[in-house]
Each structure stands twice: as C-alpha cells, then as structure tokens.
Amino acid sequence: MDNQAVATDAFVVSRTFDAPRQLVWDAWTKEEHLLKWFGPKGMPLTHAKNDLRVGGTMHYAMRMPDGSDGWGMWTYRDVRPPEYLEVIANFSDAEGNVTRNPWKADWPLRTLSQTTLTEDEGKTTITLSWTPYEATEAERAAFNDPQARGGMQAGWQGTLDQLEEYLGSIQ
C-alpha cells in the first residue's frame, strides 16, 4: 500500500438511534450526559470538562480495568450544533498535555475525528470517521493494522451500545 492510500484510510462507524437529533447531540456534547455513558464498556468516565467551541477542548478520564485513569482530550476544529463535530483527538495526562498511547507507542499522536448527526423521522444516525492526523508512515500503519481496527470496532460498538441504552433511559 502506498503512503497516500494509508494516509486516507478512514475508520468509519455508524449507528441509528431511536431518538431525536437534539437529544443525541446533547448526550454527545454535555458533560452531565457524557459522564453517564461515554467510553468502551467497563471503562466509565471519571472526569469530563467540555468547552464546546472551536478551539475549545473536551478533557476526560476513563477508569481503566486496573483501576487507573486513562486521560484523553479532544480539541474542537468545527462545531455545528446539532449536526457536526470535528475534533483532533489525543491521549493526554491529567494536566491536558498531549501524550503517547500508553499501550501502543507507534499509534498516531493525534487523530482527526469527524462526527455527523442526521435525523430522519425522529431517528438519528451518528456517523464517525476517524483518521490519523499529521501522522508518520509508521503511525498510519499502526492505525490501519487489522488487529487495531478490530479493537477500534469493538471499542466504538461498545460505546455506541452504551449511548443507545442511555438514550432509552432518558426519553
């Protein structure tokens, strides 16, 4: 695979929820909601501070299975309520400094995530596209590794399962 093909190989996941778009947007962007559902199954958020504006950040921590907190951060590049979010995502420390993936050193330091919410007859479809951002060839290869893709698929499906359950509990 040539360098350009790897660089543009997006990971995409989509799910339709039986909920109006504004409610799904609120669940995806408001701290009080995110703390109740966001993250892979078994890794709940323990911290969420969200400054939802272009240039703002969402700084969060997930409780890892070993009891430690794993930190991450989104930096907003585009915010169009209630239909679109574009963020640069990265691992971080508790102070918000960018850090490497603690489990995979060649994982992209930053990724670009584009989330679109569309509504049709009271149901909302979220489509998330995720790509390496300003990544080296080794980082792009790590992102496109089939085992990594399987982990991303499982993590995002579990996260979206939790969102679906949460939305059902608040309607």
Q: Judge whether 154 and 28 are in contact, CB under 8 Å.
A: no
- What is the distance in angstroms between the CA of the first residue and the CA of the last residue of the chain? 46
Q: Which contacts of 131-134 are long-range, i.e. CB under 8 A and separated by 24 or more positions?
A: 131/7, 131/8, 131/9, 131/10, 131/11, 132/7, 132/108, 133/88, 133/108, 134/109, 134/110
Nearest to 126 by CA among 11, 30, 17, 36: 17
Amino acid identity, position 63: R
pTM of the model: 0.91
pLDDT at 2 (0 to 100): 39
Q: Which CATH architecture has domain 10-170?
A: 2-Layer Sandwich (3.30)
Residues in the chain with pLDDT values less than 50: 1-7
**Strand residues in the chain grouped as ranges (E):** 11-17, 45-50, 57-63, 69-80, 84-92, 98-99, 111-120, 123-132
pLDDT at 1 (0 to 100): 38
pLDDT at 34 (0 to 100): 95
pLDDT at 40 (0 to 100): 87
pLDDT at 4 (0 to 100): 41
